[in-house]
Amino acid sequence: MHSQETVNAALLLASDGANACVISRLLGVPRTTVRDWLQGRLPRHIASRNQAATVCEKCGHRAHSYPDLPEVYVYLLGLYLGDGCLSEHRRDVFRLRVYLDLRYRSIIAECAAAIRSVMPGSKVHLLERRSNLVDRPEPSNVEVSSFSKAWPCLLPQHGPGRKHLRPIVLSEWQNALVRQHPGLLLRGLIHSDGWRFINTGTNWTCPRYSFSNRSNDIRRIFCDACDLLNLRYTFAPRTVYVSRMADVAVLDDLVGPKR
């Protein structure tokens, strides 16, 4: 007898586009059994009222348990805030897109792995693109994307228009996760819209981190995460700098070189 959790997991994977073969392999359930579930023939011991209680009214997925999201969700949130977006498609399906520099293969792989962890069963697509800013025939960036009806629930900052033209505020459950893993948020933000460089002056050089974003709210989110780690920062128009040697060392441990 299969548990309600197994049945719900199968239905969740199906809503993300997984077929019966994939679900059978992931959950260790016979394919014919999965096919019955997908056609509405559910086990008798699973009461319809209990099943309804486990469904999100907004997206139709299993009700979200935000505190139980994998910790890499916070990293993915940072990538989304920096260089990500959601777009709506047919049948209320949304596509998460994160745009990354093609030079940094490790970051691309880490982004894809985070999406798979947060949204298991949803395929991750990689599409190389040419830059509109540089007149070169070869691609210079990559679009990492994934389809799901649940993305607006997991990324409630989605809305009409560009992020820097509308308020961006973390929800209470997102703030709770960020308080647990502020370094992962900084890692995602810096991997998308930040960098480490060598600052120079008269007879001196020192490493420095910067984070640049057109949204005042997103820069504030970056600073709030720094505050959680007691990292000092300074401001320039649209840019936040972390320059103190001890603070740079902390970010080196959390972020490391882009590659």
In whole angstroms, give the CA distance from residue 137 to residue 134: 9
Task: Give the 3-state secondary structure of residue 6.
Answer: helix
* pLDDT value for 45: 65
Task: Give the 3-state secondary structure of residue 146.
Answer: strand
Q: Which of 90, 70, 97 is nearest to 192 (CA)?
A: 97
Q: Give the β-pairing of 84-88 and 141-148.
A: unpaired
* pLDDT value for 129: 85
* pLDDT value for 133: 65
* pLDDT value for 48: 47
As separate numbers, helices (DSSP H) first and strands (DSSP E) second, the chain gives 11, 8
Spell out where 122-161 has E strands: 124-129, 141-148
Q: Residue with structure tokens 């949130």?
A: 77
Is residue 239 within a helix (H) or strand (E), and if so which, with residue range? strand 239-242
* pLDDT value for 172: 96
Could you tell me if residue 13 is left (phi over 0), alpha (psi between -120 and 50 degrees) or otherwise beta?
alpha
From first to last of its 259 residues, the chain has per-residue pLDDT tens of: 778 778 878 877 877 778 888 888 888 899 888 888 777 777 766 644 444 456 787 887 778 889 999 999 999 999 999 999 999 998 889 999 999 999 999 999 999 999 999 998 789 999 998 877 666 778 889 999 999 999 999 999 999 988 999 999 999 999 999 999 999 999 999 999 999 999 887 878 889 999 999 999 999 999 999 999 999 999 999 999 999 999 999 999 999 878 8
Beta bridge partners of 194: 211
Q: Give the β-pairing of 141-148 and 124-129.
A: antiparallel
SS (H, E, C) 176-233: HHHHHCHHHHHHHHHHHHEEEEEEEECCEEEEEEEEECCCHHHHHHHHHHHHHCCCCC
Residue 204 CA, chain-centre distance (Å), reads: 38
CATH 3.10.28 fits 66-161, yes or no: yes
- The C-alpha angle with vertex 237 and arms to 232 and 239, in degrees rounded to 5, equals 45
* pLDDT value for 49: 43
Tell me 64's DSSP state: P
